[in-house]
Structure 1
Amino acid sequence: MASASIYHWLPQVAALVVGAAVGASELWVAHRWNSQTLGLMVSVPLLVFAPVVTGGVNEMLVCFMLAYAASTVWLQIGRDWTALFVVNTVAATAPQLGLPFTADHSQAWFVAVVGLVGLALALVSAILLAPSSSRAVIVGLIAVVAALPLPLIGATGMAERPTAVAVVGLGAAIFAFAAVGVRGVAAVPVSCRIVWIAAGAVLLSLAVGIALDGSAVSLGFLAAAVVLTVAVRWADDLADAVRIIATVFAALGLTALLGIGGGAHLTVPGLLSTGEQATLMVGAVLGLAATTVLAGEWAGRPAVDSQRVWLASGLIDLWLITELCISVGDLVTGGTDAGFRGGHLAATLIWFGCAAAALMRARTLRGQRRALVLGTGLSVIAAAIAKLFLFDLATLDGVFRVVAFIVAGLVLLSLGVAYAQRLVSDDGADDATPLGPVH
């Protein structure tokens, strides 16, 4: 390093190769003696004084740290040298944390490449060293540290938005590939893989936040929630982790919808612009998809109360259906009061229709499934009646109010007749059943 940085006797590439070879040869002695202490005595002074030789954080220092860490991985295979892995990973990552603050825009590609290489190197090293490590979980956790430089590329503004999104997104993909690629390998604890998939989810959320501005970020989170929920079927032992991540993404997306006016928009006509209305409409569709598929995934878990899951999902869906109806009405009519009232009328009718469908479906079921569907249907119809009397009665006027009450009355009357017929048929079936055996 001194020959390249101070005296300029060697080209930088040649100095990196020679320096990595020298460092590896020194650790080879520690490998032969099976002494991690000797390895640390070699590594720590070398890594501490390297920034002094290079004159601070620069490209030479970052590349040397990565080359040194890569050249010494094979010497740690078969050895329980967790401390040495921690030192090398931190030493290779620390200079990269300062590089985005000192480099200019023309070096953005270099910072991006070394960040991704450092992350891949840390994960590959953790996978190779886990079989011989008594602290494999710590090895897997320390590998996550190598991802810290990636978000700084976008946060410091040294790279354009597409570059920052690509770098952070590739980092998430590397984590996902590492977590899924070693599936079935007993040497890598599942806890490490769960941490890796969680770290990938964090990077994915950052990529969504960098790529999308303002109201559009909700669409990214909801779309990611749908994709992740579908991916649960192929996640095997990572299914619970992916399911939780998808739920968090859905919650972030729905919260973002509320943040752009998804709550006040239900009570105040003409509050949002056309673009925000369109975003709410698309977000409501994605939210309905995400909530429904997530409810199906969670309801199938043995330790989960399915009825509560479906009830919570139904309440969220009612809100999203109302959002969708009002957004469509506003977009079609240009944000007039008629579109607002028409949207609320359509939402009320859909609420009653969904409740009626659930209650009619419950008539054909037995046991726990019947109780679940019946409870959900009764909850929805109670919410629909509450909306009709507490909100629609004061908001709707003219033909909208007439249609809402007529349809609601017809639905309730039809349900009453259907359940009365069912009770009569059940009583007849009970009367026809013998009380006991005939002797």
Structure 2
Amino acid sequence: MSMSGDPTLQAVRQLEDEFAEAMSRMYAVGNDLARLRARLVHETSPHKWAPAPDAGAPPVAPAATAAHATPPAPGTTGMVTAPPVAHAPFAGERPPHVPPPAGPSQPSTPWWQRDGLVSRLLAVVGAGITLIGVAFLLALAIQLGFFGPLARVISAGLLAAGLVTAAIVVRRRRAGTAGALGLAATGFATAYLDVIAVTRIYEWVPVAAGLGIAGLVAVGGLLLARAWDSQLLAGIAVLGVAALAPTIAYDHMLLVAQFLLVLTIASWPAQVSRRWHVLELVRVVPTAIVIALLPALDEPVGAVILLACVLAGFVLATGLAGVRVDRTPAQAGIAVPVVAVPVLSAALAAERATGTTLMIGLTLALVLVAALTAGRLPTGSRGDTLLATGSCLYTAGITSLVAAALVADGTDWSLPALLTVGVLWAGASLALRDRTVLRATLVTSLLPLVLTVTLVPYAIDRGTATQVEPAHLVAASLTVVLLLALAQTVSEAHPRTMIAVRALLAGALLAAGGTVIIAGALLGDLADDARGGFTAGQTGATVLWLATAALLLLRGLRGSAFAVPAGLAITALSVGKLLFFDLAFLDGIPRVLSFIVGGLIVLGMGTGYAQALERSRREPGPVDKSGDGPRAPHTV
């Protein structure tokens, strides 16, 4: 039965025809878009990846329409067939990313157009010129007799208050920060000059009262700086009063030191929740300088010791709090080395026992603070922690050396005392395995190791054999221990710095030879033959070096790549010593012993190394159970 006249079938065929016509139009639009895209890429690409298709080329369906079906001819029936897959206009290859064309480089901003630079510069210059103009105005008024002393002081005070008030008004305006800072700084400077007038020029108030007034001005400046969040203004306020105090009371420097210490303590809260490291230095450095100069001004040593200890204790305590306690100033120990200077000055001015006690106490306090700041802390950042710990440890290393020098008191035992401090630091570094401690150890050990140069004449000059003392032998022995400990510590902390480790080991070997020579001279001096002991010590040093070379060669057979070259180098050094030193400076039995014993050791080294090498080559290597292949020969 034919269904050609069925209206439903006719409607379906009509819908198919309309769908096919719509798809054809979509293909045409897609091909036009593909040609447009290819043309744009061709014009913008510097490499001309692919030419744009010709206008007369047959239309190609884009890849995005590959899933669409090719419509059948109108009036036909059946399923819609899929068209052939279209290819991109880049010959089937994915084009590389086309970077956007670089625009013209932006010219750098001239320095005079940078944000706030010119305004700050003009504010500073304007403040200085204003202050000079005020001084000229007052001088002219005084010369003309307009102002008496009281009027001068009152007018200066009113001017200072007016400048600060004007600064507050200007601050409320937009972009008025720099001008406000200049006005405020000028106002505080005027106030300080007024304090000098009432205290030193007219002497209306006592020195202590003048310092108190200056302190109140500084506190006002700090409060204003806190409100404006300006470290610059805070630094100007504190630095101004620090420079003013010696001018007011130059003949009462102990009082000035006390005032500055109170100012240092009282101005610390201004740094709460701020990272004002410059203000920290401005607060501490002037106080430390004045206290350190007091012994040279013949001030009482007891008072100097008290002031120095209070300053050091306060800075250490606040530095520790800044790392461990939330919202306290994170000073990061930047002022720790500064506060050690007044304690050192007081220790040198005091008696030996008192000074030694001071330096030992300061060293222990620094080590304690470093231990409390090290590790994982609740609030301090890693940078603050490392800086605080390192600053305390480096300073402790210096103060421990000073304590050792005070204990030795300039005798022959000064160098052994310094080397003992270095050995103690090296032992602590080995035990703690901390890189910060290692760096402090290296800093502490540098000076003692440099001073060991003074031992060289006792190891090479036979004329100094009679001058050898037990302290020299102890110093040489401690040098060997210190170098070996440093080599071990550096090798564990920095495995890649083998050059430094080998240099330390070479220095230890040389120092060991010198120790043998000094020991021989000392033993010879006990037997009333110091020169003979010196020559015997030279023989012993040669034998020691050759024995060390033999041990290194033996170690090289066990797999050390560096031991064999090192052993051969030491052997060459020992042979050179035999030929150029022992032959020229030794005579008699010591010369004979040096050459015979040295020659036998070298012969034994050569024979033993050859036999051990041959034996190691004949030894079967480990069995390779992973296959049936031949065994690998044992390598040296």
Which of 304, 309, 312 is matched with 2:497 structurally?
A: 304
Q: Partner of 1:125 in structure 2?
A: 318
Mapping of 1:123-202 within 5 angstroms? Answer: 123-129=316-322, 140-153=333-346, 158-184=349-375, 185=377, 186-187=380-381, 188-202=384-398
TM-score by length of structure 1 reads 0.79
Distance change >3 Å, CA 333–CA 198, structure 1 → 2: same
Change (3 A) 1:404 1:19: same
- 1:305-344 correspondence runs (5 A): 305=498, 308-309=502-503, 312-344=506-538
| Root mean square deviation, CA, Å | 4.1
How many residues matched? Answer: 419
Structure 1: 5+ residue stretches without partners:
none
From 220, 226, 231, the equivalent of 2:423 is 226
Paired residues of 1:219 and 1:283 also in contact (CA < 8 A) = yes
CA drift at 1:285: 1.0
Residue 351 of structure 1 is matched in structure 2 by 545
221-230 or 187-196, which deviates more: 187-196
| Amino acid across the alignment from 1:97 | A
Aligned pairs for 1:284-433 within 5 A: 284-300=476-492, 301-305=494-498, 308-309=502-503, 312-363=506-557, 365-366=558-559, 370-429=560-619
Distance 1:48 1:414 in 2: 76
Higher-RCO chain (CA-CA 8 Å, sequence separation at least 6)? 1
Query: Which is greater in Rg?
Result: 2
Alpha-carbon deviations, 1:277-315, whole Å to 9, x = none? 322211111111111111222233222125733652354
More helix by share: 1
For 1:270 and 1:257, the matched residues in 2 are separated by: 10
Distance 1:135 1:237, change over 3 A: farther
Structure 2 CA distance for aligned equivalents of residues 74 and 432 of structure 1: 72
2:517 partner letter: E
Aligned in 2, Cα 1:436/1:386: closer, same or farther, shift over 3 Å? farther
Larger CA deviation: 227-236 vs 84-93: 84-93
Aligned residue identity for 2:399:
L
Q: CA deviation at 1:384?
A: 2.0
Give CA-to-partner distance per residue, 1:382-437, whole Å, 9 cap, x none.
Answer: 22222222222233333333333332233223223322222332343379999973
The answer to whether the Cα contact below 8 Å between 1:93 and 1:146 also exists between their aligned partners in 2 is yes
> Distance in 2 between the 1:347 and 1:32 partners?
69
Is structure 2 residue 260 aligned with structure 1 residue 65?
yes
SS class of match (2:619)? helix
Q: Deviations over 1:52-102 (max 9, x none)?
A: 554534333322322332233245322344444333213422321331122
8 Å contact kept, 1:82–1:133: no
CA contact (8 A) 2:543 2:597 kept: yes
Which range is displaced more, 215-224 or 194-203? 194-203
1:165 and 1:415 mapped to 2: Cα distance?
52
Return the alpha-carbon distance in structure 2 between the equivalents of residues 385 and 281 of structure 1: 25
Alignment partners' CA distance in 2, 1:315 and 1:210: 30
3-state SS of paired residue (2:469) = helix
One-letter identity of the residue aligned with 1:95: V
The answer as to 2:305 corresponding to 1:112 is: yes
Alpha-carbon distance change, 116 to 256 in structure 1, aligned in 2, over 3 angstroms: farther
The 5-angstrom pairing of residues 45-64 of structure 1 reads 46-51=241-246, 54=249, 56-64=251-259
Corresponding letter in the other structure for 1:280: H
SS of 2:333 mapped into structure 1? helix
Q: TM-score, normalised by structure 2?
A: 0.57
Measure, in 2, the Cα distance between the counterparts of 1:230 and 1:200. 15
Structure 1: how far apart are the matches of 2:613 and 2:565? 18
* 8 Å Cα contact 2:265-2:314 kept in structure 1: yes
Q: Contact conserved, 1:326 with 1:339, CA < 8 A, in 2?
A: yes
Local SS of the residue matching 1:148: helix
Contact 1:250 1:290 in 2 (8 A): no
